[in-house]
Amino acid sequence: MAVDKQDHTWTDRPVCPHCGHVVRDDSEMFEDLEGFDDFDCPQCGLEYRCRRNVVFRYSTRVPEATDA
């Protein structure tokens, strides 16, 4: 079953491009933070390549009076 390719870019979790299986625990998937790594989908058994994209987000707050 083909899944829209748009569903596989910048997703919250790795998504198999063959069957759409979502990897819930990616903690041990990546040894290399650069480039693509090869994985076998636990659902359909087909191989795909996945790269972890890192997004930085920022938090700001007004300093408290006692910080000065």
Query: Where on the chain is the footprint of Zn ion (CB under 5 A)?
Result: 16, 18-19, 21, 41, 43-44
DSSP state, residue 64: P
Q: Which helix H or strand E contains 48, and what residues bound it?
A: strand 47-50
Of 41 and 50, which CB lies nearer to Zn ion in the complex structure?
41
CB of 45 to Zn ion, least distance (A): 7
- Distance between CA atoms of 36 and 21, rounded to whole angstroms? 18
Residue type, 56: F
Of 5 and 61, which CB lies nearer to Zn ion in the complex structure?
5
Of 3 and 30, which CB lies nearer to Zn ion in the complex structure?
3
CB of 47 to Zn ion, least distance (A): 9
